[in-house]
Amino acid sequence: DDSVDAIPEHNEFLFPEYEILIEPEEPEFPADSSVDPDDEQGAVDTSKDLKEQEELRATGSAAFQSLDEETLEAMAKHETEEDKIFQTFKERVAAEPEQIIRYCRGGEGPIWVSGENIPEEKDIPNCLCGARRIFEFQIMPQLLNHLQVDSLGESIDWGTLVVYTCADNCGEGDEYLEEFIWKQDFS
């Protein structure tokens, strides 16, 4: 019967059901994920001739002459920190590109896509029982690809969704309990 599988017209956000496979995340990258100096892809091209480098410096400095040195340094530090955070995210995602959920209750914590909008402890409300909430899992942006939400007109979007649950694991029985989710967009 086709009526069982039909999506009701009044509900645009009824997504198909998918199976989620649960596998442990293998640590593919060491804790210090610095660039290997022998890696040719990470190598810097030092063969540019001096004249070309001087021309680039002159062109670049003219564009930023109106900004004071303190502002330029702040911009450079901000970009560098953002780049590091996003690079860490990309490296972890590259190890498991199809991963849609990272579960690690109370463990190492989420992988942030940006240095912006990272919650502090005070931003995460306590559970209704009074206990603090801790990181349990995060929903990765790859889920958006599987749900094919681009075809919905006004698409939903996120960098990562981080779910915090009661540290005391309160609640008994079969009732659903309200938890807390933090949405971080790409900066």
pLDDT of residue 46: 40
Domain boundaries, the chain: 67-187
Three-class SS of residue 134? strand
pLDDT of residue 9: 58
pLDDT of residue 82: 77
pLDDT of residue 70: 75
CA pair distance 28, 91, nearest whole angstrom = 9
pTM for the whole thing? 0.62
Model confidence pLDDT, tens digit, residues 52-105? 555 555 555 555 556 777 776 776 666 677 788 888 888 888 888 889 999 988
Question: What average pLDDT does the structure give for the chain?
Answer: 75
pLDDT of residue 13: 67
CA pair distance 97, 28, nearest whole angstrom = 13
In tens digits, the chain (187 residues) has pLDDT values of 555 555 555 556 677 788 888 888 776 555 444 444 344 443 334 444 555 555 555 555 555 556 777 776 776 666 677 788 888 888 888 888 889 999 988 778 899 999 899 999 999 999 999 999 999 999 999 898 888 775 555 678 889 999 999 999 887 678 888 899 999 987 6
The contacts of residue 89 (CB under 8 Å, 6+ apart) are 111, 112, 113
